[in-house]
Amino acid sequence: MEIPLLSYHFPFTVKDKKSMFSGYCFSFSRRKWINPFDRIRCCSLEVQGVQQPWLKPKPSKIDVGERKETVLEEPQMRKHPSSGICSQIEKLVLNKRYREALELFEILEFEGGFELESSAYDALISACIGLKSIRGVKRVFSYMSSNGFDLDLYMRNRVLLMHVKCGMMIDARKLFVEMPEKNLVSWNMIIGGLVDSGDYAEVFQLFLIMWEESLDGGSRTFAMMIRASAGLGHIFVGRQLHTCTLKMGVADNIFVTCALIDMYSKCGSIEDAQCVFDEMPEKTTVGWNSIIAGYALHGYSEEAVSKFYEMRDSGVEMDHFTFSMVLRICTRLASLEHAKQAHASLVRHGFGLDIVANTALVDFYSKWGRMEDARHVFDKMPQKNVISWNALIAGYGNHGHGEEAIEMFEQMLQGKMIPDHVTFLAVLSACSYSGLSERGWAYFKSMSRDHKIKPRAMHYACMIELLGKDGLLDEAFALIKSAPFRPTANMWAALLTACRVHENLEIGKLAAEKLYGMEPEKLSNYFVLLNIYNSSGKLKEAAAVVQTLRRKGMRMLPACSWIEVKKQPYFFHSGDKSHAQTKGIYQKLDNLMLEISKHGYVPERKNLLPDVDVQEERVILYHSEKLAIAFGLINTPGWTPLQIVQSHRICGDCHSAIKLIAMVTGREIVVRDASRFHHFRDASCSCGDYW
């Protein structure tokens, strides 16, 4: 039997400048290569010109290469520890007391010369894998080598697995090459390790070699290869592998099917993913999760929620990943009702204390300004990880509660939780949004000094925003110039926003030019500069920006806002009159405009900024977010907050109007625009009028 692999060229090159798949046919010819890695070139290493040290195998039983300094000379007399010590190590590992097992091994290692039983080494390998301890791997493997332990195929595979699971892929490649005998388990281990480390090109070359080595692969092998094709984003190769699974009779395997659903989803063909799902003989939890994730990945949020309800009604058991996904989809949809149902379901299904599901809940409530609910869920969690803390800190910061965000960060440190770069992003953003300049600088400096975290571009962008908010544009520009890396688009965008707020034409023009070079197709950059010119009275320069947009054929899509009422989303465009309640909506909005005008509201007609076009300026009183708010006020109880999603960045006029609408109606209004979350309450916004 022969299965053709169609000619396909990838957007990377190998040494001979030919595609690794060009003209290849899968066959069962029994060509054998002693060293398969001699036929493989690791693209990432070749590009950097790095010599691969693992291509030449040595005939020794175990060659530790670089580890010579750690290998002890073989003693004349071997010490045989009592079987009690070996069995104690095994019992510790069996009870997942990995660290204690390695500490007991340290004692034997210090004494030196002890011969351990194979089962003890097997247990120590499990301990190293459980702790992901690279140091433990090196010590256990070195001890094996120095004591001349003779490995059979099972133990060689275990040693290989230990290196793969701990991410030591260079050593794993070398061990694989030196194996005198390999089986399908060996091949699957090295292929799985390469897939997990993202070396997809090398994986495919190795797979073809394995095929010709006489091993035909199985369901697990094909599942990993399909994952690799998803990683490359090449649907054609994925389809060829799909064909292979059909001809090999493994297409119905649950791991293969789920990998196919994931691959088709990630490669942009949700229709194919749905077809594979429909053909599954038994739809499992993983299968349902895969198709839900596929729809969510491509922005089909409502379809993803619908699939969740289908899964629930089918009687398939849902896990914490199911609820975590659905809650994240609800965050995108601003769907409080669906989120409440998911919250109730996860409690009913026994995940009320699960760290993954509850972190997703904290994230949802935090992002939509329901900080009391978020804090309640957070406080009841028996265990918290850094992601849980990050979600709550970011929630406080995003909604203008900078002091509370800092308080939670200090509690996190007191609890010996180690912050990461996302934690500091949340803390610095909180300081920026709440105008806590001194604390922001203190935390920024503490990153590298106290926590050994090198500030990234996102952290610099926060500090630029913090300086910009205080009107220190020269200092913000100096910070960009002093960054230890090339300034990113986000950094220049933060400076441009500051220039727009403070109407600094000179620096704003420079920042805009930098952004044009980095993001020539991003419309918002042009509109920010356009409105800087407009607000500064530079009409000639503003006209030139408009001409540039027309010449490039670029036009901002009309803004769209939506709100969910009774689990049903309602969409609005500026000046929209297609809704069944149009008359009531416009009447309500006119009444609101009249009411807030008594409190000083005057329509801002001079600015188009940030992301609205000329046509929308003509209907400034009926922008999409205002219509959505009027609809929400008509159709929801007076005690519920309104949650609006806006496709563009909210304009200055709407921002001013919504602050006053929140005041006169006594309602909390949360708007998520393309820039950030805005939490309106009592004539103020969490952004501090800086966005």
Domain boundary among 500, 521, 555: 555
Query: Which residue reads 């960045």 in tokens?
Result: 649
Same domain, 575 and 649: yes
Same domain, 263 and 328: no
Same domain, 142 and 265: yes
Same domain, 672 and 595: yes
Q: Does residue 306 register a pLDDT over 50?
A: yes
Same domain, 491 and 578: no
E strand segments, 594-660 = 642-646
pLDDT at 113: 62
Question: What ranges in 483-581 are assigned the alpha helix state H?
Answer: 489-502, 505-518, 523-535, 539-551
- pLDDT, one tens digit per residue, over 358-370 is 999 999 999 888 8
CB 427 within 8 A of CB 447: no
Residue 275 belongs to a domain:
no
Same domain, 609 and 509: no
Among 258-272, 494-508, 613-627, whose mean pLDDT is lowest?
Answer: 613-627
Residue 53 has a CB neighbour count (10 Å cut-off) of 13
Same domain, 505 and 637: no
Question: What ranges in 381-520 are assigned the alpha helix state H?
Answer: 386-398, 402-414, 421-433, 437-450, 457-469, 473-482, 489-502, 505-518
Q: Does residue 23 register a pLDDT over 80?
A: no
- Give the highest mean pLDDT range of 115-124, 289-298, 495-504: 289-298
Q: How confident is the model at residue 32 (pLDDT cuts 50, 70, 90)?
A: very low
CB 607 within 8 A of CB 535: yes
Gap between the Cα atoms of 26 and 5, Å rounded: 7
Our CA angle for 94, 98, 100, nearest 5°, is 110
Give the range of the structural domain holding residue 209, as residue numbers without chain letter: 31-269
Residue 43 belongs to a domain:
yes
pTM of the model: 0.72
Q: Does residue 430 register a pLDDT over 90?
A: yes
Q: How confident is the model at residue 295 (pLDDT cuts 50, 70, 90)?
A: very high
Domain boundary among 516, 533, 555: 555
Residue 620 has what DSSP assignment? G
Same domain, 156 and 264: yes
Residue 609 belongs to a domain:
yes
CATH number at 137 reads 1.25.40
Residue 519 belongs to a domain:
yes
Among 447-461, 499-513, 579-593, whose mean pLDDT is lowest?
Answer: 499-513
Query: Which residue reads 């194979």 in tokens?
Result: 118
Residue 573 has what DSSP assignment? E
pLDDT at 112: 66
Share of the chain above pLDDT 90, in %: 46
- pLDDT, one tens digit per residue, over 90-126 is 889 998 899 998 988 888 877 766 778 888 899 999 9
Q: How many CA atoms, within 13 angstroms, populate the side-chain half-sphere of residue 483?
A: 22
| pLDDT top residue among 383 and 546 | 383
Same domain, 659 and 592: yes
| pLDDT top residue among 79 and 601 | 601
* Strand partners of residue 26: 3
- pLDDT, one tens digit per residue, over 170-180 is 999 999 989 98
pLDDT at 524: 75
Instruction: Calculate mean pLDDT across residues 225-239.
Output: 91
Instruction: Calculate mean pLDDT across residues 366-384.
Output: 92
Q: How confident is the model at residue 659 (pLDDT cuts 50, 70, 90)?
A: very high
Q: How confident is the model at residue 372 (pLDDT cuts 50, 70, 90)?
A: very high
pLDDT at 58: 38
pLDDT at 168: 92
Residue 406 belongs to a domain:
no
- pLDDT, one tens digit per residue, over 201-222 is 888 888 888 877 766 678 889 9
Same domain, 320 and 360: yes
Residue 285 has a CB neighbour count (10 Å cut-off) of 15
CB 371 within 8 A of CB 401: yes
Domain boundary among 522, 555, 588: 555
Contacts of residue 429, Cβ cutoff 8 Å, sequence gap at least 6:
394, 397, 398, 462
Number of domains in the chain: 4
Instruction: Calculate mean pLDDT across residues 663-688.
Output: 89
Residue 263 belongs to a domain:
yes
Among 22-26, 322-326, 494-498, 579-583, whose mean pLDDT is lowest?
Answer: 22-26
Same domain, 179 and 103: yes
Q: Does residue 234 register a pLDDT over 60?
A: yes
Same domain, 547 and 569: no
Q: How many CA atoms, within 13 angstroms, populate the side-chain half-sphere of residue 642?
A: 34
Residue 571 belongs to a domain:
yes
Nearest CA to 246 out of 54, 3, 20 is that of: 3
pLDDT at 546: 81
Q: Does residue 50 register a pLDDT over 90?
A: no
Instruction: Calculate mean pLDDT across residues 149-175.
Output: 92
Residue 52 belongs to a domain:
yes
Biggest CA–CA distance in the chain, Å, is 98
